[in-house]
Amino acid sequence: MLTEKIEQALNNQVQIEAQSSQVYLAMASWAEVQGFEGVAQFMYAHSDEERMHMLKLVKFINERGGHATVPALEAPSAKFGSFKDMFQTLFDHEVMVSQAINELVHISLQEKDYATHNFLQWYVAEQIEEEALARNILDKINLIGDDKGGLYLFDNDVKQLVTLNQNTPQ
């Protein structure tokens, strides 16, 4: 059984994951309009992944006797300036999500809710991967600079990341 504090904290994380899905969806649409098919595919896939993270939380809350709530969401930015700006926004967003997960883990320990603590370890590991991926992509974009040919190759490389992730079980 979830305490009220844990239920509220988990529902807050549902909102964060749902908002993450929206942010990635906006990035996908922007990249697609810019003609970067690989980046768009990557962002669409990440939007779906974030939604799955949200659903996993919803089901956990409900299975533990709580009531998951569907949050209202803010409209994400529709313009990102450059790919570097967009991926910096993505990285900063993932750092914020990691901080939120860490706070949730802290609350679960304070409340002595070890089942929730155990459940959240998947999210902790996932955030390590998400931050590393975003950092790696940012590093590549910094190497490319303003080289249009480099951006074209980068777009194809990112398309390969989507293909690899689709073949890897979650």
pLDDT digits (tens, 9 = 90+) for 58-96: 999 999 999 999 989 999 999 998 888 999 999 999 999
Contact at 8 Å (CB) between 97 and 42? no
Contacts of 140 (CB under 8 A, 6+ apart): 154, 157
The domain at 4-166 falls in which architecture? Answer: Up-down Bundle (1.20)
**Residue located via tokens 């906006």:** 26
**The length of the chain, given as a count of residues:** 170
Confidence of residue 169 (pLDDT cuts 50, 70, 90): very low
> Where exactly are the structural domains of the chain?
4-166
pTM score, whole prediction: 0.89
Distance of CA 99 to the CA centre of its chain: 13
Mean pLDDT of the 103-111 span: 97
